[in-house]
Chain A
Amino acid sequence: MKFDSQLIDACRAQFPALLREQNDQSVIYFDGPAGTQVPQCVADAMSHYLLHCNANHGGHFTTSVESDELLHKCHQAHAEFVGATDGDEVAFGQNMTSLTFSFSRALSKTWKSGDEIIVTSLDHDANISPWVLAAEEAGAKVHFVGFNPHDYTLDMEDLGNKLNERTRLVAVGCASNATGGINPVKRVAEMAHQVDAKVYLDAVHYGPHGLIDVADWDCDFLACSDYKFFGPHLGMLWGRRELLEELQPFKVRPADNRLPTRWMTGTQSHESIAAGMACVDYIAEIGKKTGAAQNANRRDALISAFSAIVEYEQTLSQKLIEGLSEIEEIEIYGITDLARLDERFPTFSIRHRNIPPAELASRLSQNGIYVWNGNYYALEFSERMGFEPEGMVRIGLVHYNTSKEIDRLIEVIKQLSVGST
């Protein structure tokens, strides 16, 4: 079933932030890739936790027991969100960056001098620097996989040539937070496993747009952050049980050494974890309105939801590409071929020939359109494109954005372009 206007309105109605106005116009949130807005149910879940079952972990009193039961469900919900079945394989943390830094420290203890790791020049720095620093300590060599400059996709031939029997890890993003391009991570995992390398996926940018499926992708580890898919500021790490049990985390001695807590340092933000489950359920509810049965399990509902979201977001991508293509001064850094919309999400990095990125973002903001400028931590990409320090402007759409909002964006950019030299 499709994402029709009724459903879009129903979804939008759940996000109080979308009611915000500026100069008598609705604010347009095209800043999703840095963190989406949240539906009321997420805020309610957080509030409910704090007000009704706020307690630390492992106590014998009622609120602690209730809290632990709720947290257990949250692990399970997030496992289902990423396509796993075992909630103990999910560890929570502050955000993907913090989790990856912590995990890289543990994983790199298994590396030795002469080993090699592979990162990519399309990734957010959170999936680069932790591994580069860990490799430095271990004496391992780091290879960067490049991208095809003609369509900004991952250079798979380059990856193939850099993989060898010394490769211990391939760290790659599921989708680029700069170009919107979707990486063929299933193929990456297949290639990496042929040389017995581990695969660590960054699904932060993928999360709000597509169905994560660790089972199908056959990766070893995957990290993402709930605040990118309509949730609270929370990060999660999934790993194969046998690997999470085998590896040695850096932890305090009294902390439980069983999964999942051995990978969760200190007391977590329980209210955020509770709200994280609410955002997963928010998406699952979309699934029940787009084809999944009312009694469908959460995973099936998520499958249906993302199927509809992907289809709808492709219409947004098409409209935005067509609109931006009408503006001679704009260059898009990502796939623009309308026949290849299934290879990208609606995240667009652009530059205006005559208006610097910061100024363009600022002028759009004055018109009530919120976009990001800079490198958004896709530093390697921005550097290789020669865009530093100004970077680019990022227009990031999610399912609560509309075709009309794109019309307004295009109109404003056209107005700003007139007379710009």
Chain B
Amino acid sequence: MSNIDYHRTTQAQRRAIESWDRGQLKTYQVKRLNQVLEAILPGNRFYQSKLQANNSPITSMDELHQLPFTHKEELLDPENEAGFAANLTFPLDQYCRFHRTSGTRGRPLIVLDTANDWDWWMETWQYVLDSAALASSDRVVMAFSFGPFIGFWSAFDAAVERGAMIAPTGSLSTIARIELIRSIEATIIFCTPSYALHMAEVAQQNEIDLTSSSVKKIIVAGEPGGSIPSIRQRMESSWDAKVIDHSGASEVGPWGYANAEGTGIYVNEAEFAAEFISLATGKPATEGELSELVLTCLGRIGSPVIRYRTGDLVRPQWDSSGNCNFVLLQGGVLGRTDDMMIIRGVNVFPTSVEKILRGFPEIVEYRLTTFKQESMDQLKIEIEDQLESPERVRAELQIQLGLRVEVECVPAGTLPRFEAKGKRFIDQR
């Protein structure tokens, strides 16, 4: 099996890496990327085919853009009935971890990892756990079903590595999870933003005060929310705990983690090379410009991705004034390129709507449905509103989005609740 010059790090070493200036970082990325290319090209038919005209070592990260993009659709090999991703480097017997994407946007994709790659996942996860200051003295509850989705499995193993006590809660009901959190005096929980709010709702229904629980931190992922102020604030006030956001993708890895202020996500540029494609121009984005995040994995050999179009919408900020010089995504992941609606000429993202809805503490749950009407995008919003007053919501949406949108109140408890990635946006276009 090919190996690359990759090291496990201590927290202090990771801090030193975060302090690199852009020059040192780019030098390191060139070395890592060339190692990845050298390691994968002999056996990876997918990239042999894609990179056949670009098989010489790169000398600068500026040359990265000469390589072709990788799109998710390409990884879904139609001829592979089992559903394994098309970008495998090694024969199947080299892989020891089987995971599958949630299939939120189509056919699920099976991603496989070798033992070495899983070790690399652990390394990249440590940056996330550093941002949460997860210590060996912590008691951690994984509020997750432990299906084939990779995120919390990798989080679980990474937290175990740090010596913390970790409780899986795969088959437990929400109330049973809450009781477990209380009985073992958990200090940290891992879950999606939706599920953190759902647990708060269930706790309230059962007259349990979560703010008096021992939980000090909630590490969230899987959907936008952890970096959206209104959602974040709601989670933090429900639990009286700090929310730590992070981002990842099964086909890429855990690529991002929250800044200390909770206002954005750093891309872990030691392990991922980031590019930003302007939504407006299709060219490299400038500071703060709304753009699509493109990632190249610098350590995953068995299932590599080079210039992967994540579809995540972000605003990059290169600021070297703090302790971490990695690129910061202001507000985290703001939405998905494929979620964008154009309603009466206005670009609208579900996350923008969600951000407004979450500003109303009385709105317990919601669902957005977009559809075509006479070739035009339309949006319908359903809310479970304790005040049953949709007009104030319409007014706020009009102020913030400049659009009059249909808002309908539905009876309490009729909209679905989610444990993993929430599916509150129904695209019928």
Contacts and interface: CB of A to CB of B under 8 A. Distances in A.
Interface of A: 121, 143-147, 149-150, 155, 157-158, 161-162, 331, 333, 351, 383-387, 421
A146 B21 contact: yes
B100 interface: no
Nearest to B8: A150
Nearest to A147: B16
A331 B12 contact: yes
Contacts of A383: 19
15 contacts: A146-B20, A149-B13, A149-B14, A149-B17, A155-B27, A158-B27, A161-B23, A161-B26, A331-B10, A331-B12, A383-B19, A384-B15, A386-B12, A386-B323, A421-B137
Contact of B12 (A121, A162, A333): A333
B15 A143 contact: no
List 4 tightest A-B contacts by C-beta distance, closest first. A386-B15, A384-B19, A146-B24, A149-B16
Contact of A158 (B12, B23, B137): B23
A386 B26 CA distance: 21
Interface string B3-36: 0000101111111110111011011000100000
Interface residues of B, number: 20
B323 A150 contact: no
B16 A158 contact: no
A149 B27 contact: no
A39 B125 CA distance: 53
B12 A385 contact: yes
Contacts of A331: 10, 12
B12 A150 contact: no
Given A146-B24, A386-B15, 5 more contacts: A143-B23, A158-B23, A161-B26, A384-B15, A385-B16
Given A149-B17, A157-B31, A387 B24 contact: no
Contacts of B10: 331
B27 A157 contact: yes
Contacts of A147: 16
B12 A351 contact: yes
Contacts of A144: 21
Contacts of A150: 7, 9, 13
B16 A384 contact: yes
A387 B9 CA distance: 16
Interface string B87-99: 0000000000000
Centre residue among B9, B15, B16 by max chain A CB count within 10 A: B16
Nearest to B19: A384
Interface string B166-203: 00000000000000000000000000000000000000
A396 to B, nearest CB: 20
Interface string B306-327: 0000000000000000010000
A391 to B, nearest CB: 12
Nearest to B11: A386
B138 to A, nearest CB: 14
A230 to B, nearest CB: 32
Contacts of A155: 24, 27
A421 B15 CA distance: 23
